[in-house]
């Protein structure tokens, strides 16, 4: 491994948002536990003067102090949703009436002084490839049109048990296969920062919904970057936990060895609270870990306000291969600035080389497609999926699948089938598995030298709707920053860190932080300090600010 | 290979809208272990015996009742032939629907002769990789489905199943907790001086083996205990349709019986009681017929003579008649005419 030490010049201006950087000797620090977010912060669009703070704790405070009822809260979100949804199309299903019913129930619990769960009253949007017992779960596919599963995914069940209220189901690329939501069988979601652009994908609906404050937090799934890339495109926090941290039970399987349920939020603090509720062993998913789940947020309170370099001694490796030629200059500059910012917080930032990095993309597309070709065989019109009328069994299977699947899904099933076939297995599937081992090892090595690794979450900011629709290879290339992390099974956090000058109001860029397996705690701690000290950057899209 | 069992059968042909599809899912999700042998067996008898030994092992281990009729143990066989001296195997044909060790044996023998016949007629190309079904009634195999090559299954490691890493300690613990397996049991019985026939009979059923072991642990001689179990006790269990565990006789009593016979207290034949009421009735009738004088006296009131009749029947049965049964029948007969 090649390690090159670099020095950065501190910028005098925040190139990210074109404001002068406040250069106070001490960063103003925010103790989220004492936050006094009042009714105004949710009934009206979030104040742009706010530092990123926990919406969850803010609304909990409002509910407990009786300054706001759960019903008022739900109504305010529904009215913003009514305002923004026609332009955004984030949701495939909104459960308005059940939302108000549950809010009223919560109000009666509060009035009775009952104990509330940690996520009481938190409105969650759930990606539509995650099963919900009382709502349609289509996976963005025509083949599951009108499908209502008989059970909740473990992730959904755990959120509900913590008091969260599921607001609706969000749009996605069919079965998670895509990077724009253009692959949805039903609609294309727009980016709240520029309605002519994609929100990213496949969890684009969930990212856009959080960005536009249509919900408090949301669930997504990340097989090759489907949480992190849309988080970056939409200017929100996105977490892809370690493989095995969160149960996949009830997540429609795309590539089982890579799939992970993650979440979106407007602050790292909220991400920590949601991840804590989601995590832990599940007897229904044999790949979930029995490791203890730390209280991720507890670390946050230990920041001393007098400490000027709260991340002193933290070794940060900037992955050199992620700032290569194919990466947008604006993105490079924003990420370099983020690296400087981390140095100012006390980190030692060095460049680190992962020679196998570029192999990740082809290996990912072979493995993910191979697994999907097997996983999607269940949609045959008999076991799952809308059944086509046919005279005999093979025609029934063929027609159900032919009519039910979109073109991207069919392409990946074909690629995967090919990659696993006799005569090609060794050249494709087996070789991709070998590459995967190389990538795992190189990450392991890099994470012995460094506490965390950083890189962009995407090689560019959000692009135009339709721009890459007919060029799948260009779209696949956009996943270069994220797929390696899935191949290695590691946790990663995306935190908005700046802007590039595109679109009507600039487009957000996310910084990806990658940690050692099961060390989400460190990532969240670093991310929390990072976002608290990132002055002047307000990641509230114009759509909401104008509303 | 570990797998899940799926459904057992379709009660109706699979169809669509408007027609009910019934699938028996009662076995769905039940763990299933598949054991694949090497091509080590040369005829039906060997294969059937291999399957029988696997059945003994799963029964010894208590992992399954191993009943083939219930589908708890099932066996598919692969048959191929090759000329003597040739090292590579011929085309393999799979046979399904084998419900007993007998059918395994017969299906393989049939399939071997079918393939040999095709081969000797120069029609080897008609031996194709396929799945055939055994028809027990017609005693033949018929084509069920032609099989594609193995690689077309497009197998790859199942990612939803995490690796199971077994520690050395775990394996040792399992090894140490294993019961005596059939093979070891047979070797031990052999060393007791028992014939192969005895050994196989005793070791075939864990309950019988347990009874036998308990009997010899009470001091009974092995050969004697085996004889009793294989002849009289086996016949009794068969007649009465009871298992060895349901029988009233305990290993202690059997050991005592064997010891009494050996010590000359009773003879071997006495050991066996006549419990058949028809047989006893016959003897009672004969004794009554042969003693008209005593019968008249009895019926005139000398009921003490019952003992005389009992003695006569006992004498006739050489002491083997069940006394309770005998007296019951006798009293009925004696009082019948009065």
Q: What single string gives the DSSP state of each residue in A66-132?
A: TSS-HHHHHHHHHHHHHHHHHHH--EEEE-HHHHHHHHHHHHHHHHTT----TTTT-EEEEETTB--
Instruction: Provide the angle, in degrees to the nearest 10, between the axes of the packed helices A360-375 and A431-449.
Output: 120
Q: What residue in B sits closest to A388 (Cα-Cα)?
A: B16
Instruction: Quote the tokens at residue A246.
Output: 């969160």
| Cross-chain Cβ contact A286/B162 below 8 Å | yes
Domain membership of residue A404 (yes or no) is: no
Predicted confidence band at B223 (pLDDT cuts at 50, 70, 90)?
Answer: very high
Contact predicate B244/B207, CB 8 Å:
yes
The pLDDT score that the predictor gives to residue A26 is 38
Catalytic, A306? Answer no
Asked if A283 has any chain B CB less than 8 Å from its own CB, the reply is no
CB atoms within 10 A of CB B260: 15
- Please choose, from the candidates A54, A103, A496, A99, the residue with its C-alpha nearest in 3D space to the C-alpha of residue A276: A54
Cα of A144 to nearest chain B Cα, Å = 17
Q: Say if residue B54's pLDDT is above 80.
A: yes
The pLDDT score that the predictor gives to residue A40 is 33
| Cross-chain Cβ contact A256/B160 below 8 Å | yes
Asked if A256 has any chain B CB less than 8 Å from its own CB, the reply is yes
- Mean pLDDT in consecutive groups of 10 residues from the start of chain A, 547 residues: 38 37 35 31 36 85 95 96 97 96 97 95 98 96 96 98 98 97 98 97 97 97 98 98 98 98 97 97 96 85 63 96 90 96 96 95 97 96 92 94 97 95 91 97 97 97 93 88 98 97 93 98 95 83 79
Contact predicate B198/B212, CB 8 Å:
no
Whole-model pTM: value is 0.77
- Residue from B156, B158, B162, B164 whose CB has the most chain A CBs within 10 Å, to mutate: B156
Instruction: Quote the tokens at residue B264.
Output: 């000359």
Mean of pLDDT values over B85-107:
93
Q: What is the CATH number of the domain that holds A109?
A: 3.90.1300.10
- Please choose, from the candidates A251, A88, A272, A87, the residue with its C-alpha nearest in 3D space to the C-alpha of residue A175: A251
Domain membership of residue A54 (yes or no) is: yes
| Cross-chain Cβ contact B17/A389 below 8 Å | yes
| Cross-chain Cβ contact B14/A382 below 8 Å | yes
Catalytic, A386? Answer no
Helices (H), A112-214: 154-161, 204-211
Domain membership of residue A407 (yes or no) is: no
In this complex, the residue of A286, A389, A420 whose CB is nearest that of residue B16 is A389
Domain membership of residue A498 (yes or no) is: yes
Domain membership of residue A181 (yes or no) is: yes
CB atoms within 10 A of CB B167: 8
Q: Say if residue B171's pLDDT is above 60.
A: yes
Domain membership of residue A534 (yes or no) is: yes
Q: Say if residue B312's pLDDT is above 70.
A: yes
Sign of CA dihedral A472, A478, A479, A484: positive
Domain membership of residue A205 (yes or no) is: yes
The pLDDT score that the predictor gives to residue A50 is 43
- Residue from B159, B162, B163, B165 whose CB has the most chain A CBs within 10 Å, to mutate: B159
The pLDDT score that the predictor gives to residue B149 is 55
B chain contacts of residue A291, beta-carbon cutoff 8 Å: none
- Please choose, from the candidates A239, A245, A240, the residue with its C-alpha nearest in 3D space to the C-alpha of residue A280: A245
Predicted confidence band at B177 (pLDDT cuts at 50, 70, 90)?
Answer: very high
| Cross-chain Cβ contact A256/B159 below 8 Å | yes
The pLDDT score that the predictor gives to residue A19 is 36
Contacts 24+ apart (CB under 8 A), B302-310: B306/B330, B306/B331, B306/B334, B309/B284, B309/B334
The pLDDT score that the predictor gives to residue A360 is 96
Asked if B17 has any chain A CB less than 8 Å from its own CB, the reply is yes
Q: How many CB pairs under 8 A join A and B?
A: 41
The pLDDT score that the predictor gives to residue A321 is 93
List domains and CATH numbers for chain B: 35-153 (no CATH), 180-262 (no CATH), 277-336 (1.10.10.410)
CA distance A417 to A371: 9
Domain membership of residue A410 (yes or no) is: no
The pLDDT score that the predictor gives to residue A123 is 98
Domain that holds residue A298: 3-364+427-546
Contact predicate A282/A510, CB 8 Å:
no
CA distance B107 to B111: 6
- Residue from A420, A428, A429 whose CB has the most chain B CBs within 10 Å, to mutate: A420
Which residues numbered 381-440 in A keep a CB inside 8 Å of some CB on B? 382, 387, 389-390, 393, 396, 417, 420-423, 425, 429
B chain contacts of residue A393, beta-carbon cutoff 8 Å: 14
Cα of A223 to nearest chain B Cα, Å = 13
Number of domains in chain A: 1
Instruction: Quote the tokens at residue A432.
Output: 């991709």
The pLDDT score that the predictor gives to residue A60 is 94
Asked if B14 has any chain A CB less than 8 Å from its own CB, the reply is yes
Q: What is the CA radius of gyration of chain B?
A: 30
- Residue from B7, B16, B25, B31 whose CB has the most chain A CBs within 10 Å, to mutate: B16
| Cross-chain Cβ contact B154/A417 below 8 Å | yes
B chain contacts of residue A429, beta-carbon cutoff 8 Å: 156
| Cross-chain Cβ contact A422/B151 below 8 Å | yes
Cα of B161 to nearest chain A Cα, Å = 6
Contact predicate B132/B141, CB 8 Å:
yes
- The one catalytic residue in A226, A369, A373, A460 is A226
Cα of B34 to nearest chain A Cα, Å = 21
Catalytic, A226? Answer yes
Asked if A521 has any chain B CB less than 8 Å from its own CB, the reply is no
Asked if A290 has any chain B CB less than 8 Å from its own CB, the reply is no
Predicted confidence band at B23 (pLDDT cuts at 50, 70, 90)?
Answer: confident
């Amino acid at each position: 491994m090649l390690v090159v030490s670099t020095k950065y010049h501190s910028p005098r201006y925040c190139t990210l948002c074109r404001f002068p950087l406040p250069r106070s000797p001490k960063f103003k620090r925010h103790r989220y536990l004492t936050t006094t977010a009042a009714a105004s912060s949710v009934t009206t669009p979030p104040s742009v003067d706010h530092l990123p703070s926990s919406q969850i704790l803010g609304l909990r405070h409002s509910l407990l102090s009786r300054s706001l009822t759960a019903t008022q809260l739900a109504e305010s979100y529904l009215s913003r949703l009514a305002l923004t949804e026609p332009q955004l199309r984030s949701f495939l299903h909104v459960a308005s009436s059940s939302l108000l019913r549950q809010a009223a129930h919560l109000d009666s619990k509060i009035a009775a002084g009952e104990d509330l769960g940690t996520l009481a009253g938190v409105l969650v949007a759930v990606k539509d490839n995650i099963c919900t017992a009382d709502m349609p779960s289509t996976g963005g596919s025509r083949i599951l049109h009108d499908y209502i599963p008989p059970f909740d995914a473990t992730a959904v069940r755990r959120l509900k048990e913590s008091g969260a209220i599921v607001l609706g189901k969000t749009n996605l690329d069919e079965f998670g296969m895509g990077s724009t939501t253009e692959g949805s069988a039903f609609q294309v979601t727009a980016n709240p920062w520029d309605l002519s652009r994609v929100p990213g994908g496949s969890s684009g609906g969930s990212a856009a919904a959080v960005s536009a404050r249509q919900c408090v937090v949301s669930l997504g799934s990340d097989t090759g970057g489907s949480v992190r890339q849309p988080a970056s495109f939409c200017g929100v926090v996105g977490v892809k936990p370690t493989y095995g941290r969160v149960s996949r039970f009830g997540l429609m399987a795309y590539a089982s060895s890579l799939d992970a349920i993650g979440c979106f939020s407007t602050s790292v603090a909220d991400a920590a609270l949601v991840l804590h509720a989601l995590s832990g062993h599940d007897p229904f998913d044999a790949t979930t870990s029995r490791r203890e789940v730390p209280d991720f947020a507890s670390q946050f309170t230990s920041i001393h306000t007098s400490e000027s370099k709260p991340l002193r001694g933290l070794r940060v490796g900037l992955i050199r291969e992620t700032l290569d030629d194919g990466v947008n200059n604006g993105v490079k500059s924003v990420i370099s600035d983020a690296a400087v910012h981390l140095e100012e917080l006390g980190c030692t930032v060095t460049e680190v080389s992962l020679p196998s990095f570029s192999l990740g993309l082809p290996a990912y597309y072979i493995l993910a497609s191979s697994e999907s070709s097997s996983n999607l065989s269940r949609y045959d019109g008999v076991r799952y999926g809308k059944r086509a009328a046919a005279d005999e069994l093979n025609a029934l299977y063929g027609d159900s699948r032919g009519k039910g699947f979109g073109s991207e899904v069919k392409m990946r099933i074909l690629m995967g089938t090919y990659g696993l076939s006799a005569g090609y297995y060794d050249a494709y599937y087996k070789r991709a598995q070998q590459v995967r081992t190389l990538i795992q090892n190189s990450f392991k090595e890099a994470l012995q030298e460094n506490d965390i690794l950083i890189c962009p979450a995407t090689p560019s900011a959000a692009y135009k709707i339709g721009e890459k629709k007919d060029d799948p290879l260009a779209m696949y290339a956009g996943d270069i920053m994220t797929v390696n992390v899935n191949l290695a099974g590691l946790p990663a956090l995306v935190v908005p860190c700046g802007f590039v000058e595109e679109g009507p109001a600039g487009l957000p860029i996310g910084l990806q932080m990658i940690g050692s397996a099961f060390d989400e705690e460190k990532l969240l701690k670093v991310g929390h300090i990072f976002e608290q000290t990132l002055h002047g950057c307000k990641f509230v899209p114009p759509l909401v600010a104008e509303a | 290979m570990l797998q899940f069992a799926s459904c057992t059968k379709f009660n109706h042909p699979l169809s669509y809208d408007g027609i009910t599809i019934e699938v028996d899912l009662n076995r769905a999700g039940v763990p299933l272990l598949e054991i694949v042998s090497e091509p080590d067996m040369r005829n039906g008898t060997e294969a059937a015996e291999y399957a029988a030994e696997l059945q003994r092992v799963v029964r010894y281990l208590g992992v399954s009742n191993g009943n083939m009729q219930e589908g708890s143990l099932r066996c598919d066989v692969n048959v191929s032939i090759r000329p003597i001296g040739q090292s590579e195997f011929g085309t393999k044909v799979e046979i399904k629907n084998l419900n007993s060790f007998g059918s395994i044996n017969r299906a393989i023998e049939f399939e071997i002769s079918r393939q040999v016949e095709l081969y000797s007629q120069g029609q080897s190309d008609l031996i194709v990789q396929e799945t055939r079904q055994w028809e027990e009634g017609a005693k033949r195999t018929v084509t069920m489905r032609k099989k594609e090559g193995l690689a077309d299954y497009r197998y790859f490691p199942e990612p939803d199943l995490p690796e199971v890493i077994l520690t050395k300690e775990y394996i040792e613990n399992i090894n140490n907790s294993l019961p005596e397996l059939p093979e070891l049991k047979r070797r031990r019985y052999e060393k007791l001086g028992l014939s192969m026939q005895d050994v196989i009979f005793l070791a075939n059923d864990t309950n019988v083996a347990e009874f036998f072991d308990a009997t010899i642990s009470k001091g009974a001689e092995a050969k004697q205990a085996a004889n009793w179990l294989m002849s009289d006790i086996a016949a009794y269990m068969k007649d009465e349709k009871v298992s060895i565990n349901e029988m009233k006789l305990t290993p202690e009593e059997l050991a005592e019986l064997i010891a009494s016979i050996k010590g000359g207290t009773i003879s071997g034949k006495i050991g066996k009681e006549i419990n058949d009421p028809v047989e006893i009735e016959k003897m009672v009738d004969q004794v009554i017929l042969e003693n008209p004088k005593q019968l008249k006296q009895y019926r005139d009131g000398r009921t003490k003579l019952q003992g005389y009749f009992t003695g006569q029947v006992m004498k006739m049965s050489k002491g083997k008649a069940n006394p309770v049964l005998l007296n019951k029948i006798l009293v009925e007969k004696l009082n019948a005419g009065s």
